[in-house]
Structure 1
Amino acid sequence: MAKIVFWSPDQGRGNTSNAVAIGTMIGQDYDIRTLITQTHFRRSNLESAFMKAKELQFRNLVNTTTSGMDNLERLFKSKRLSVDSICDHTISLETGRLDLLMGTKKAEAHESYPSIAGAIFDEADRYYQAVILDIHSGGKDIVSHQLIKDADIVVVTLSQDTSVIENYVEQKEWPDELQNKTKIILLGQYDKYSKYNVANIKRNYKINDPIYGLPYSSEFRDAFNDKDVLNWFRRARNAGKRHPSYNFFQEVRKISKDLLIQIGVNTEIKRIERGVS
């Protein structure tokens, strides 16, 4: 149904953790089929965020020589890629609602890899209602160019650092494919008390795209480092106002809902009642 790409102009802005938070919320709050994956060639920690809840499946994959994406590449080359084969190579995080596809174990992209990755996610798009892709930051990665081109919406991770915002507005190191894309801007580790809040940034820099601020949560960061994001969301996402991460969850939920509305999901019908999983 729709490919949602998470991209940042540079590394270290929280692009992966933003994709993890929003993907997990969608998978636990909505009765839609969602796939989450990443296309990094080095040092991605997206998969590890879910490891504790699915230790056996991860251990089995670690002991194999290839990952989900690499197996799917072989199936594509042998003309045997299908929706069923994609589902067979995922780890189910929330049954029927959220699947994880392991990224490549390759050290770098070969010349035909962008078109192969594009074909794999086009096939996944036939089954999943939301395909969430955490892609490499910056404007030089050839796979990222392809996936931004194919995306239905791009979530751009920035910060409240004015130099980062100015570079984005001036389109420095932008992939050309971003020019006419539907985009939202997500400010990670957001401080609502800063003078550079969402309203002022939008006004001062004349940004027309929707902007959201996702506040820092030490509990989320701890859960990420503990490789236990899935269980932490299950326990805490519906906690009351006294919970230390209440504002974090409120914003993740708001962003997730607005994203789904933009890709055509009826969030009122698909919303899962609290306490039902």
Structure 2
Amino acid sequence: MTGHTIVFWSPVSGTGITSNLAATASVMGLEYSTHMLLLGHCESHDIALKQCFYQTHASREMDMDVSVNMGVDALLRLLQNRKLQPNMIRDYTLPLLKDRLDLLPGSGKPDNRFIDLATPWMEPLLSMAKRMYDLVFVDGGSGNSSDWTNSLLRLADVLVVCLPQNRLAVHRFFRMDELQTMLATKKHVLVFG
């Protein structure tokens, strides 16, 4: 049995993607006994996600403790060397709620460098994570102009679209033909913040 990938994404920035992701995962972790993984894969998403769960000074100390032998960078190395097994993933995470919610530390590399290295490996990594976890929450960021974002949108089993309460932005979103085509075939939730 495999889990589900839930990608939080927005066509525009500043819509609270990471906050919505953290709140949803936290409430589900408290209310349900499912195994969940939070993935803030890129450096910018990872920093924002850690700040939701740790105080700023504790997050800095944690960054010093989390070496290259932990998190998504370590998993990608194992995957590239064909040594990663689903039951190993938990060893590279930080537990937030015991046996319910784990945080996989994001890459220590700059976003563009990480994306270049990880793009061909993201699908097998998510597939492996879904074999270990019931739900894999991913911070998909905003916009839809990069291959990375389009790949995450394609791989999502459920897409959570975070939209602003700006009428112009909402109208623009509903007029984007390629997004509407994708949403017609994909389970999705619209969140207005």
Q: Which TM class, normalised by the smaller chain length?
A: 0.7 to 0.9
CA contact (8 A) 1:149 1:178 kept: no
Match of 1:186 among 166, 169, 191: 191
* Richer in helix (by share): 2
User: Which amino acid in structure 1 is aligned with residue 23 of structure 2?
Assistant: A
Q: 1:126 is paired with a residue of what secondary structure?
A: helix
Larger radius of gyration: 1
User: Which amino acid in structure 2 is aligned with residue 17 of structure 1?
Assistant: S
1:59 aligns with 2:92: no
CA RMSD of aligned residues (A): 2.4
User: Which amino acid in structure 1 is aligned with residue 94 of structure 2?
Assistant: I
CA contact (8 A) 2:39 2:138 kept: yes
- The offset of 1:117, in angstroms, is 1.7
* Richer in strand (by share): 2
TM-score, with length taken from structure 1: 0.61
Q: 2:34 is paired with a residue of what secondary structure?
A: coil
- The offset of 1:127, in angstroms, is 1.3
1:91 aligns with 2:94: yes
Could you tell me how far apart the structure 1 residues matched to 2:182 and 2:60 are? 34
- Post-superposition Cα deviations, 1:233-268, rounded to whole Å, max 9, x if no partner, equal xxxxxxxxxxxxxxxxxxxxxxxxxxxxxxxxxxxx
Unaligned runs of 5+ in 2: none
- Post-superposition Cα deviations, 1:83-106, rounded to whole Å, max 9, x if no partner, equal 122111101111000000111122
What is the match of residue 77 of structure 1?
A: 80
Unaligned runs of 5+ in 1: 189-277
- The offset of 1:173, in angstroms, is 8.1
1:68 aligns with 2:67: no
How many pairs does the alignment contain? 186
Cα distance change of structure 1 residues 175 and 117 upon mapping to structure 2, 3 Å threshold: farther
Aligned positions of 1:246-265 closer than 5 A: none
- The offset of 1:183, in angstroms, is 1.1
What is the match of residue 169 of structure 2?
A: 164
- Post-superposition Cα deviations, 1:166-213, rounded to whole Å, max 9, x if no partner, equal 11101178497555221110011xxxxxxxxxxxxxxxxxxxxxxxxx
1:48 aligns with 2:51: yes
What is the match of residue 8 of structure 1?
A: 10
Could you tell me how far apart the structure 1 residues matched to 2:62 and 2:21 are? 25
Match of 1:113 among 94, 115, 118: 118
